[in-house]
Every structure is written in structure tokens, then in C-alpha cells.
A = this chain, B = another copy of it.
Amino acid sequence: MADEIRDVLRAQVIDGVFTLAAHDAGATPLMTDKSDAKDALDDLRVELFDLHELMFANEERSLLLVLQGTDGSGKNGTIKHVVSAMNPAGVSVASFTEPTAEERDHHFLWRVERQLPRPGHLAVFDRSHYEDILVPMATGATTEDELDQRIEDINEFEERLSSDGTTIVKCLLHLSYDEQRQRFLRRLDRPDKRWKFNVSDLDTRARWDDYQRAYGRVVAETNTEAAPWYIIPADHKWYRNWAIATLLAETWRDWNLAYPQIDLDLAELRSRLESPG
């Protein structure tokens, strides 16, 4: 039996502690060759289309893919290279940036609820409700009590989603400080990429250690059975794409879905169709 990427990449929280810095962002577990990974991704894209269609046809369960990670870690690249394999009719992508005034007037999960997948659909969160604990945690703009409350809210929320038929796949795209530098420099170098550069990303980069610690704590406290975290080494784009595609495929394969058998009188329908119009 082949190793499952889910087992290999699942966050290991030991005695309530998870240390992101102990993980190698350049690692490539279960797949070492770039060209093999690209070939495998081509096959996975075909399989993902079919698995997603099976979910869509059954209209019962849904899947929520949460993509978290620092600027430049490849959330959008994952959407472009992996999520694009699925039929857009059954996919929605929601991007969570600074809350609007209206959103701030509500509970922090209000805007998230509105973007959940309908039965049969895949929803992708490019950032998510985790921003609402990561940012205040890293910048110190909150109290411990408020953080604890939000963590509890998230765990209850995800538990409810899960028991309601939504499988949550939470991916932390783990990028190194050096690779982020290279990616930012490339954005500055290329006139067709420069629009993606945000000067405030450098302020976030200046708090690198604070954010790494915040990620570690968030993973430790929200790595539940209902919605575990996967730590995706993201310095190699080809690895990130292959790993997330494989995670999705493993998740869907486990459901063992078949096309719904609808009860039709085939002979009668054929004869209705074949009679002259």
C-alpha cells in the first residue's frame, strides 16, 4: 500500500505545541523529481475532474479547501494550477482580505458562512477565517481572552460543518524567508507581475518571526480530527501543486462515490424520443 500524502503532511502537534520553523519549506516528501511531479499532476487533473463531478452529481457532500500561507506562498498559484482542473460550474473561490465596514459589524465568521460550498460543490478559500486570528495574534492587536474565544468559535464552526457533510482540507503553504525574497524580487522585476506587489507585504515580512509563531500556535490549537491541518512545503511550486492535488484526490477517493442511479423507464423514454416530433 502506497504511503498516503495525508499521513505524511498532516501537522504533528506534540504536547500541544507545533513549531513551524522546525519544518523544511524546501522538502519534497513522497515526490522528489520535478518532471515526475508534473506528469503526475497531468494525470491527477484528469482524475480530479472526474472525482469532483461525482461529488457534484451526488449533491450531498461538499469540500472546502482552505489555503493559508504568507504572501507569495502560492495560494493563487494553487488555484491556477490545481483548482482549474475542475469544472467551474461546481467551484467557487472566495478571497478574504481586510474585512469591510459591514463585515466588521458582524461576528467574524459571518462573511465566511456566506461563502461555504453548497452540497456537491467545491469551495476554495484564498485566506480564510484564520486571518482573523493570525493577524491580531502576530501584531498583538488583541487580548488573550479574545483569541481563545475565536479559536473556540472556529473549532465549533468547523466541527459543525464537518458533521453537516462538508469535508475541510486545511493547507498551510509553508514558504521560507529566502524563497519569499526571491519571489518578491521577481514580482518587482517583471512589469506584468508588478501589480501583484503590495508594499504592505514588506511590513508583514518584517514581522516574519511573529507570524511564524502565530501560525504555529494556530495550527496547534485548531488541528482537530474534524478539520486537520496539512503543512505543505511550498518553496518548490511543482511540489506544492502535486501535493495539494494528491491531497484532494486521496480525500475524494475515500468517499467511494458512484454516479447516482436514477430510476428511469429507459424503454419508454427512448420510444418517446424516437417518435417523430
Q: Which residues of A contact B (CB under 8 A)?
A: 57, 76, 79-80, 83-84, 86-89, 91-93, 95, 124, 126, 177, 181, 184-185, 188, 191-192, 194-197, 199, 202, 205, 208, 259-262, 264, 266, 269-270, 272-274, 277
Contacts and interface: CB of A to CB of B under 8 A. Distances in A.
B84 A202 contact: no
Contact of A84 (B84, B199, B261): B84
11 contacts: A76-B89, A80-B89, A84-B87, A88-B93, A88-B124, A89-B95, A181-B277, A195-B260, A199-B269, A202-B273, A208-B277
A93 B93 CA distance: 10
Nearest to A275: B181
Given A57-B195, A262-B194, A264-B197, A188 B269 contact: yes
Contacts of A181: 273-274, 277
A275 to B, nearest CB: 10
A251 B246 CA distance: 37
Nearest to A91: B88
A151 to B, nearest CB: 28
A80 B194 CA distance: 31
A57 B187 CA distance: 14
Contacts of A262: 194-195, 197
Contacts of A80: 87-89
A258 to B, nearest CB: 9
A93 B122 CA distance: 12
A110 to B, nearest CB: 16
Given A124-B88, A185-B270, A199-B269, A259 B93 contact: no
Contacts of A83: 88
Nearest to A266: B188
Nearest to A265: B199
Contact of A195 (B93, B185, B259, B270): B259
A200 to B, nearest CB: 12
Contact of A270 (B87, B188, B196, B274): B188
Contacts of A89: 76, 79-80, 93, 95, 126
A184 B199 CA distance: 55
Nearest to A83: B88
Contacts of A274: 181, 185
B88 A79 contact: yes
Given A191-B259, A259-B191, A259-B195, A273 B184 contact: yes
10 tightest CB-CB pairs across the interface, nearest first? Answer: A195-B260, A57-B195, A79-B89, A83-B88, A89-B93, A192-B259, A88-B93, A80-B87, A181-B273, A177-B277
